[in-house]
Structure 1
Amino acid sequence: MVSKRKVTPVCLLVAVLMIVSGLSGWTPTAKAFAQLNASQIVQQMGAGWNLGNQLEASSNGIPSETAWGNPTITKTLIQKVKAAGFKTIRIPVSYLNYIGSAPNYTINATWLNRIKTVVDYAYSEGLYVIINIHGDGYNSVPGSWLLVNGGDQTTIKAKYQKVWQQVAATFVNYDEHLIFESMNEEFDGTYGAPNSAYYANLNAYNQIFVDTVRKTGGNNSARWLLIPGWNTNIDYTTGNYGFVLPTDTYRSSTVPSSEKRIMISAHYYSPWDFAGEESGTIIQWGATATNPSKKSTWGQEDYLNAQMKAMYDKFVTQGYPVVIGEFGSIDKTALDSTNNTYRAAYAKAVCAAAKKYGAVPVVWDNGYNGQYGFGLFNRSTNTVTQQGIINAILSGMN
């Protein structure tokens, strides 16, 4: 157990900056940290749910949780998610133009405090919480800067280091229920085999992330850290495409040398024509499908299991837990009333395969419950909208 916070000059500096900036909730005493090994943390995290685009949303480079149509996040919503059976909440976060200028790259204090408030909604409920840098790595988002294909990598890396330094210091005293994720679907915006030079930049970001968080000390020196490969793609993370695991040089000596404190992130939306394509062509999935013309020619149970096994063989067997940080399928019931049956079958199969191969599944929910939405809850009324899919997720974890 970590009984007290190890204070470093970096941690002290950022703490002072936050206090001066008026950030609430800073506590000087670290909370006791449970040293969970790989299998224990996966078991404890159970099934997860994504807060979706809320703290990722932005307008003209300015993050805003209501910019993309969702209401302001409430603790009541988080409590409803917990009551539904989820044990982990992933909170995607964009910073964008709320990051100040060089050399300090100071995060807007109001925004950082709002992130902390939302984290506290879940953390105070005893849920596991994952926070990341999300939309800042998209070539298509105004204000994005964490670009593997960016021309000035020296500046990008300096900015990235400063942002994580501030975020890590904000949450330094939180216990093992908080997990940092270095970034999201990081790639150059083009699909296909990764560019090796750009992949090297991604690997460098992951290394900066691990080193920076660890150096802030306290519970961060033993915290579980989550990192992705190229575009969180399983093939490009497990195959011979250039993914490099970061070293963990500055990890706390309280962690047994035989254990890891790094997790690997991947997303699963295969087959895309069922899970994400906005058309009524493919609306069935899996062995129970009744109409071959409405079922994809790939991406069925055998493919799903092979993908999960690939992550297991590459990482879980070496002590690195896997988090399927996003999965799900869009609502096509307006086009075919049987679609929810297959969405539930898909969700159950993904969760069952994740459990079989030692991974944590975290379903994507963007808060939208209309046609082509991923919503499982109505965020205005704090009610469940897709109980069948939630039941399937929990069933897959049993």
Structure 2
Amino acid sequence: MTSQARKIRSILLAVTLTVAASASGLAHQASATTTPRSSASQIVADMGAGWNLGNQLEANANGYPSETAWGQPTVTQALIDKVKAAGFKTIRIPVSYLKNIGPGPDYTINTAWLNRIQQVVNYAYNRGLHVLINMHGDGYKTVNGSWLICDSTAQATIRATYQKVWQQIAYRFQNYDQRLILESMNEEFDGQYGRPTQPCYSNINAYDQIFVDTVRKTGGNNSSRWLLIAGWNTNIDYTAGNYGFTLPADQYRSPSIPSGEQRIMISVHYYAPWDFAGDQSGTITQWGRGATNPSKKSTWGQEDYLDAQLKSMHDKFVTKGYPVVVGEYGSIDKSSFDSSNNRYRADFARAVVATAKKYGAATVYWDDGGNGRYGFGLFDRRSDTVTHQSIIDAIMSGVGGS
């Protein structure tokens, strides 16, 4: 989630309803030189608790990606080591390409930028972590240089660009093992909160199909790699419900994948209720059955809602062998309005992770690097220190099943 998108949501008091459900099971780690064997339950168990390196490689200055453009320091190995030491097993690295994509027909990614992406991936991958990389800010109309716009009239050019960019990314990472997961896009929609529109949703489905076909055709471990795709705005209702989402065909996958086993995951995000998780008015600061002040607690989006949302993804996708990943969840710091707020942020994080695990889910906490008022941060990226151990403890408690 970009800073711009978060501001828009706060103004509109809109809710992006999301969640994840994926299967749990025995851990298995494939090598880069052998055919990976990783079922839906195994990959989710391997992923464990996840963390987002938010507001870094998706940040930009005047449309050019820059990891320090939004106030964060350069990403270091020391930061990733601290995240791993805290207990996280998966790191999602949001990435924007924007004006670092050259002109057609080749649409060549700036080499220095692709090298830097790989270097940051290696910070985590070489430490044995699972890593997710995506195409993050290229689909936001509010971002300078964005082009992956589902309601644009230039769909032929958009699809050609999308195919060529993912082809380059896939070739760069084709020899990485199953700990590297590629994600098609991020919160792709027409920018209007509400029911999905056509033909915009059909275009999103087309992007997902191009993504799967392109990555698979590059060969190597990409022919059997787990691929993460998204529906409308990573919204649970608009992905699990009858609003137009279609699963891509996986016709070019490796014949070594057992019949009936999928290698496609579904991405959703969870920030419900938004008045607790993201709204910056400071009015709603408590969440869950442990809330002590009813006036500070939202009238919806509590434990029963969370359970129903995760269950709907489980019933729609997990039961058919498609893992579901809550690629983002979390809540902003409102302790300046309510000194007990961080307790409820921990309760929320624990509940999302534990309920997701109940329904076979993988979860990845959204950390935007911000600490203090309105920040999602769990770490100080300048000193490589933990800032909210209680929330980390809650996450680890949730993924542990307690």
**For 2:280 and 2:344, how far apart are their aligned partners in 1?**
16
**For 1:187 and 1:58, how far apart are their aligned partners in 2?**
20
After the TM superposition, which residues 59-70 of structure 1 pair with which residues of structure 2 at under 5 Å, given as runs? 59-70=61-72
Which of the numbers 232, 235, 249 marks the counterpart of 2:234?
232
Structure-1 residue corresponding to 2:386 = 384
After the TM superposition, which residues 141-290 of structure 1 pair with which residues of structure 2 at under 5 Å, given as runs? 141-290=143-292
Structure-2 residue corresponding to 1:292 = 294
- Residue-by-residue CA offset, 1:18-72 (whole Å, 9 max, x unaligned): xxxxxxxxxxx95334311000000010010000110000011000000000000
Q: Are the structure 2 counterparts of residues 288 and 382 from structure 1 closer, same or farther at C-alpha, using a change threshold of 3 Å?
A: same
**For 1:184 and 1:241, how far apart are their aligned partners in 2?**
18
- What letter matches 1:140 in structure 2? T
Structure-2 residue corresponding to 1:125 = 127
**For 2:336 and 2:83, how far apart are their aligned partners in 1?**
25
**Residues 35 and 256 in structure 2, CA contact (< 8 A), matched pair in contact too:** no
**For 1:306 and 1:154, how far apart are their aligned partners in 2?**
39
TM-score scaled by length of structure 2 = 0.91
**Residues 304 and 350 in structure 1, CA contact (< 8 A), matched pair in contact too:** yes
**Residues 201 and 244 in structure 2, CA contact (< 8 A), matched pair in contact too:** yes
* Number of residue pairs aligned between Structure 1 and Structure 2: 370
**Residues 30 and 172 in structure 1, CA contact (< 8 A), matched pair in contact too:** no
Displacement, 1:240? 0.4
Structure-1 residue corresponding to 2:101 = 99
Counterpart of 2:143 in 1: which secondary structure?
coil
Counterpart of 2:187 in 1: which secondary structure?
coil
- What letter matches 2:297 in structure 1? K
Which of the numbers 70, 76, 79 marks the counterpart of 1:77?
79
Structure-2 residue corresponding to 1:110 = 112
- What letter matches 2:113 in structure 1? W
- Residue-by-residue CA offset, 1:281-320 (whole Å, 9 max, x unaligned): 0000000001111000000000000000000000000000
**Residues 33 and 176 in structure 1, CA contact (< 8 A), matched pair in contact too:** no
TM-score scaled by length of structure 1 = 0.92
**For 1:315 and 1:30, how far apart are their aligned partners in 2?**
28
**For 2:35 and 2:356, how far apart are their aligned partners in 1?**
26
- Residue-by-residue CA offset, 1:217-276 (whole Å, 9 max, x unaligned): 010000000001000000000000000000000000110011000000000000000000
**Residues 46 and 397 in structure 1, CA contact (< 8 A), matched pair in contact too:** yes
- What letter matches 1:396 in structure 2? G
**Residues 93 and 132 in structure 1, CA contact (< 8 A), matched pair in contact too:** yes
**Residues 333 and 371 in structure 1, CA contact (< 8 A), matched pair in contact too:** yes
**Residues 334 and 371 in structure 1, CA contact (< 8 A), matched pair in contact too:** yes
- Residue-by-residue CA offset, 1:339-380 (whole Å, 9 max, x unaligned): 000000000000001100111010000001020000000000
Displacement, 1:279? 1.6
- What letter matches 1:285 in structure 2? W
Structure 2 gap ranges (5+): 1-30
| Matching of residue 39 in structure 1 with residue 41 in structure 2 | yes
Counterpart of 1:196 in 2: which secondary structure?
coil
**Residues 139 and 186 in structure 2, CA contact (< 8 A), matched pair in contact too:** yes
**Residues 196 and 241 in structure 1, CA contact (< 8 A), matched pair in contact too:** no
- What letter matches 1:386 in structure 2? H
**Residues 36 and 224 in structure 2, CA contact (< 8 A), matched pair in contact too:** no
Counterpart of 1:90 in 2: which secondary structure?
strand
Displacement, 1:196? 2.1
**Residues 166 and 214 in structure 2, CA contact (< 8 A), matched pair in contact too:** yes
Higher deviation after alignment, 142-151 or 31-40: 31-40
- Residue-by-residue CA offset, 1:116-151 (whole Å, 9 max, x unaligned): 000000000000000000000001100000010111
- What letter matches 2:178 in structure 1? E
**For 1:343 and 1:33, how far apart are their aligned partners in 2?**
41
**For 2:329 and 2:61, how far apart are their aligned partners in 1?**
25
**Percent identity between the two aligned chains:** 70
Which of the numbers 67, 72, 90 marks the counterpart of 2:92?
90
| Matching of residue 369 in structure 1 with residue 367 in structure 2 | no
**For 1:30 and 1:318, how far apart are their aligned partners in 2?**
27
Structure 1 gap ranges (5+): 1-28
**Residues 59 and 66 in structure 2, CA contact (< 8 A), matched pair in contact too:** yes
**For 2:33 and 2:116, how far apart are their aligned partners in 1?**
21
- What letter matches 1:275 in structure 2? A
**For 1:88 and 1:147, how far apart are their aligned partners in 2?**
29
- Residue-by-residue CA offset, 1:190-237 (whole Å, 9 max, x unaligned): 010000210000000000000000000010000000001000000000
Structure-2 residue corresponding to 1:350 = 352
Which of the numbers 337, 340, 348 marks the counterpart of 1:338?
340
- What letter matches 1:119 in structure 2? V
**Residues 49 and 363 in structure 1, CA contact (< 8 A), matched pair in contact too:** yes
**For 1:143 and 1:185, how far apart are their aligned partners in 2?**
17
Counterpart of 1:149 in 2: which secondary structure?
coil
**For 2:363 and 2:216, how far apart are their aligned partners in 1?**
26
**For 1:59 and 1:306, how far apart are their aligned partners in 2?**
40
Q: Are the structure 2 counterparts of residues 30 and 305 from structure 1 closer, same or farther at C-alpha, using a change threshold of 3 Å?
A: closer
Q: Are the structure 2 counterparts of residues 305 and 30 from structure 1 closer, same or farther at C-alpha, using a change threshold of 3 Å?
A: closer
